[in-house]
Amino acid sequence: TPAMPMLLFSRELNVENDQLRAAFRGRIAAFQSLLVLEITAGHNAGILIRKVAANDAAVLLTSLVQGVAIRWSLGAREFVLVDEGLRLLDVQLQLLSAKEA
């Protein structure tokens, strides 16, 4: 959603609208909770390394989304957002994988 990074860094969200900020914080928390469930399932199935706690891995994956959005927004949209996000997701999943590539 191309407008999302602009909204995330808007003055309205960050300074002027507590309700909007709380709504976004809730969405991120819900997303991280879902990631924790999936990562835990990956740990239990032996797909993901247990060395990285599920909560930490969820924060890393959430930060990936946020980081790509920031780079895309600040970089004048010089790359395809979805392509870059998927590329870096593959890298992170390889790093979290219990199996050697």
How would residue 101 be classed by pLDDT, with cut points 50, 70 and 90? low
pLDDT of 1 strictly over 70: no
Give a three-class secondary structure readout of the chain.
Answer: CCHHHHHHCCHHHHHHCHHHHHHHHHHHHHHHHHHHHHHHHHHHCCCECCCCCHHHHHHHHHHHHHHHHHHHHHCCCCCCHHHHHHHHHHHHHHHHECCCC
Q: Summarize pLDDT for 35-50 with one digit per residue, the tens.
A: 999 999 999 999 999 9
